[in-house]
Structure 1
Amino acid sequence: MFKSQKLFLRVDRNFFKKVLIIAIPIMLQNFITSSLNMIDTIMVGKLGEVEIAAVGIANQYFFLFSMILIGLCAGCSVFISQYWGKRDYVNIKRILGLGLVSALVVSIVFMILGYINPDKIISIFNKDSQVIDLGGKYLFIVLFSYIFTAIIIVYSYSLRSIGNTIAPLIVNIVALLCNVFFNYVFIFGKFGAPALGVEGAAIATLISRVVEKIIILFLVYKGKGVLAAKFSELIDINISFFKKAYKFILPVLLNDILWATASLIYSVVYGRMGTKATAAVSICNTVSNMFMVVTFGMASAASIMIGKSIGEGKEEQAIDYSKKIMMLSFFVSIILGLTLALTTPFILDLFNVSAEVRSSTSIMLYTISTIFVVRFMGMLIIVGILRGAGDARSALLIEGSTMWFIGVPLTILGAFVFKFPVHTVYALAIFEEVAKFILGLRRLKSRKWINNIT
């Protein structure tokens, strides 16, 4: 046993180096993004539970928006990775242009819908009048940032797909610093600014997104790499190319929409269970996402490496990569699950909440730590390996079916039929993670998931 592990580590140093070069900057970027959300939650949390719930619910609308963008960009990025393997720079620019146009259309639609009646959107998730009022004000301001967010996400995913993970990381670091500073200024009224509470948090987010967009475009065009495309190159898209691209992008997009919609239903369920339940889940999700950043990094590395190998015509190498990254991820996920369990009491000390909210949040975090390996591996298979290999339809079927036929029904039954407490309802949704992992593993063993989409 130990000899085989040592042999694996010695023989595959080159593999580990490739994974870490891609994964670590993405992990850091996702960690910074999650830190940004956590800092927002902590700073707004100093104002009270109602404010936490208001911002948490308002961000559910952004969550749906961002998941649609991520679905678009994830689909585009698989094309870019495979075109990168072929050194087909013309089509990389076309896919980038298609992604930008699609993302801008989505952002404009969400902005218009949000501005029509922001309070109505908040009321879908929670009936507390204070939460609706504060959440509506926050949403109205933060909607301005959606166009900037669209551009940022498209370029971040595209840069990652060609192996440039440093530029998005730099941009995120600057965004984090900006957001923390302007949160401090506008939430609490420092340096002569008025104390605006949750509206101040929204203003800080808007400023950070503007700065982020300016920097990422500067880095792309200063480097004059493959993504520094002219306008004419970005819009050089004919009908046949559009159909070819969206034949793959649509299953990825639908997958993320189904996932995001199911997640929003969870939020509606928790929101209808009361403000304390909403606050507990908001804190739990913020904390658990901090630990899931490693998953996103590993999944991104898997997607990029496998996609590039397929683009180069090296299918056996892609299969070999999938096995090795699964083994590496298994050990990493065990360590992360244990770390989450051990640090939960100390993390919860950061939040100014009631004993009831703290107790519920604590139970949920311990539950997550228990099944962390299953959640980690399931996401790696779906988001990293299957998508990266061009098997978007299988990823859609596995994730869509487990959420909508297991997770969502169990959550609704637990909350409204059996009247379970929020931590028990939260635990019921975890059954979907187990099913997702089992089905994903079966698909991998079939060896039918390699698909050259270019």
Structure 2
Amino acid sequence: MNLKQHFKQNAAFYKDLWIIALPIALQQLVTSSLNMVDTLMVGKVGVDAVAAVGVSNQYYFLLNMVMFGIYSGGMVYFAQFWGKKEIRNIHRLLGFTLVLGIGLAAIFTGLALLIPEQIIRIFTQDVAVQELGAKYLRIACLSYPFMILSFGFSMGLRAVEKPKFSMIASIIALTLNTILNLILIFGLLGFPQLGVIGAAIATLVSRIVEFILVIGFAYLKTETMNPKLSVLLAFDRELINKLIVTSLPVVINECFWGLGTTAYMVIYGMINVESISIMNIVNSIFNIFFIAAIGVGNASTVMLGKKLGAGEKEKSYQDAILFLKVGIVLGIISGLMLVMCIPVMLQLYKDFEPSTLTLMSHVLIVFAVGLTFRFINIINIVGVFRAGGDTRYAMILELGVLWTVGVLGTFIAVKFFHAPLLIVAIIVQLEEAVKVFFGMFRVRSKKWINQLV
């Protein structure tokens, strides 16, 4: 079959993929691009400032991973309920996840207000970074409740195939964040020069604006994601029990994946502060070239879940294979684009030492090589397995490889062999390759296919 015949035969698949994945990918592109700009602006304050914001955001990252686990578990049911057009059940489960989210946000915010220095000390022993990080965290943590509520409704909008509204809200909010960063970090337009405190204030304001926009779009622009409060709080024990059984492995997965990613940051800190700064920048750049994977991965959850909810099991398997083929092609293209753009990206940080820029370029090349593996894994773990309710295997695969090959491998390399950052980066990509090996066997077995509703 030639390409023309392939696209003609699978026209419906690619149309749905385009409609769902493109807004999510664009949202991720804006997020990653503006985050990189934020890192660049903070970098003008100094390397310590970049490290401070980076380690502070690792704390937020932990909360984000817990909530992504809860909402992703909900998406398993949201998508399959959407396939059966059971909107009320989507709203009831959304309400339960929102209540959990608000509770967790309150805990994380409270700890950040009470003991910010102790939290930052977990990630770095550098006194200057600890002081700056605590100042940033005290203000930025106030944005957590708004972020959690926005996140929940955004996931709901994706499940009912209305991702463009959360995309618009994020683009507006993140653009505002960048403008406020420019004004408050450097003291433009008559404002005082606030440095990392200005970055924290910009984050808080933009999160509040995003919350207002997402809720406004959900209630004013859709008929499927505008639940009444009475429905959101109409908890159904049977539904909640089903959600817990399926979602618990996802929550554990995301929590320990978040901890593992945070452990990487701690291990980078064991090398030196320069490594923390480099990896913050590398991750910001890498995320720009990972946007297609975010879009395709989220689209696979919705599209496969919808088909499974409608009872189309064989079609779900065929589409899963198509998703993986798309992921491989996009992964190779994205990796090549990243390599070609490295000289341009490094120009943005030309104030850094030449040795730092050289090391950064080498790490970026390693991450570019691993991009295809990352594409396949997000489609398998976040998309295929979760859409089919195979969350337990997804958890075992993700965490087993992350903590044995990735975290343990990098820790031993740094602690006992004093490995440089480049070697650590290679081990991180090796982790992704191992996950691909085991994940593909699971897809072919069809054991992930389950109709849950």
1:233, distance to aligned residue in structure 2 (A): 0.3
Whole-Å separation in 2 of the counterparts to 1:52 and 1:423: 20
**Given that residues 43 and 49 in structure 2 are in contact (C-alpha distance below 8 angstroms), is that contact kept between their aligned partners in structure 1?**
yes
Whole-Å separation in 2 of the counterparts to 1:357 and 1:365: 12
Partner of 2:372: 373
**Given that residues 248 and 453 in structure 1 are in contact (C-alpha distance below 8 angstroms), is that contact kept between their aligned partners in structure 2?**
no
Query: Residue type matched to 1:120 in 2?
Result: Q
Whole-Å separation in 2 of the counterparts to 1:91 and 1:146: 26
Report the TM-score, using the length of structure 1 for normalisation.
Answer: 0.98
Aligned mate of 2:203, from 202, 205, 213: 205
- 1:266-313 deviations in whole A, cap 9, x for unaligned? 111111221111111111111111111110100011110000000111
Aligned mate of 1:311, from 305, 309, 312: 309
Whole-Å separation in 2 of the counterparts to 1:312 and 1:176: 37
1:238, distance to aligned residue in structure 2 (A): 3.1
- 1:342-382 deviations in whole A, cap 9, x for unaligned? 11111111123222221221111101111221221122111
**Given that residues 19 and 301 in structure 1 are in contact (C-alpha distance below 8 angstroms), is that contact kept between their aligned partners in structure 2?**
yes
**Given that residues 125 and 272 in structure 1 are in contact (C-alpha distance below 8 angstroms), is that contact kept between their aligned partners in structure 2?**
no
Describe how 1:232-381 pairs up with structure 2 within 5 A: 232-351=230-349, 352-381=351-380
**SS of corresponding position for 1:430:** helix
Whole-Å separation in 2 of the counterparts to 1:95 and 1:132: 40
1:397 paired with 2:371, answer no
Query: Residue type matched to 1:127 in 2?
Result: Q
**Given that residues 78 and 161 in structure 1 are in contact (C-alpha distance below 8 angstroms), is that contact kept between their aligned partners in structure 2?**
no
**SS of corresponding position for 2:356:** helix
Q: Which consecutive segments of 4 or more residues in structure 1 shift more than 2 A? A: 3-7, 238-241
- 1:14-63 deviations in whole A, cap 9, x for unaligned? 21111111101000011111123111101101111111111111100011
- 1:232-286 deviations in whole A, cap 9, x for unaligned? 1001113322211111111111111111011111111111221111111111111
Whole-Å separation in 2 of the counterparts to 1:299 and 1:170: 20
What are structure 1's unaligned runs of at least 5 residues?
none
Describe how 1:24-423 pairs up with structure 2 within 5 A: 24-351=22-349, 352-423=351-422
**SS of corresponding position for 2:291:** helix
1:409, distance to aligned residue in structure 2 (A): 1.0
Query: Residue type matched to 2:60 in 1?
Result: F
Partner of 1:8: 6
**Given that residues 127 and 272 in structure 1 are in contact (C-alpha distance below 8 angstroms), is that contact kept between their aligned partners in structure 2?**
no
**Given that residues 92 and 236 in structure 2 are in contact (C-alpha distance below 8 angstroms), is that contact kept between their aligned partners in structure 1?**
no
Partner of 1:18: 16
**Given that residues 123 and 266 in structure 2 are in contact (C-alpha distance below 8 angstroms), is that contact kept between their aligned partners in structure 1?**
yes
**SS of corresponding position for 2:2:** helix
Partner of 1:433: 432
**SS of corresponding position for 2:414:** helix
Count of matched residue pairs: 452
**Given that residues 98 and 237 in structure 1 are in contact (C-alpha distance below 8 angstroms), is that contact kept between their aligned partners in structure 2?**
yes
Cα separation, partners in 2 of 1:224 and 1:287, compared to 1, 3 Å? closer
1:224, distance to aligned residue in structure 2 (A): 4.8
Query: Residue type matched to 1:22 in 2?
Result: I
**SS of corresponding position for 2:250:** helix
Whole-Å separation in 1 of the counterparts to 2:146 and 2:356: 35
Query: Residue type matched to 2:341 in 1?
Result: T
Identity of aligned residues (%): 35
Mean CA deviation greater in 121-130 or 217-226: 217-226
- 1:373-405 deviations in whole A, cap 9, x for unaligned? 122112211111111121111100100100011
- 1:82-131 deviations in whole A, cap 9, x for unaligned? 10111111111101101110111110111112122111111111111110
1:223, distance to aligned residue in structure 2 (A): 2.4
**SS of corresponding position for 2:191:** coil
Query: Residue type matched to 1:206 in 2?
Result: L
- 1:310-333 deviations in whole A, cap 9, x for unaligned? 011111111111111111221111
**Given that residues 96 and 227 in structure 1 are in contact (C-alpha distance below 8 angstroms), is that contact kept between their aligned partners in structure 2?**
no
Whole-Å separation in 2 of the counterparts to 1:252 and 1:36: 29
**Given that residues 263 and 407 in structure 2 are in contact (C-alpha distance below 8 angstroms), is that contact kept between their aligned partners in structure 1?**
yes
Whole-Å separation in 1 of the counterparts to 2:246 and 2:421: 38
Query: Residue type matched to 1:427 in 2?
Result: I
**Given that residues 27 and 293 in structure 1 are in contact (C-alpha distance below 8 angstroms), is that contact kept between their aligned partners in structure 2?**
yes
Structure 1 vs Structure 2 CA RMSD: 1.1
Query: Residue type matched to 1:238 in 2?
Result: D
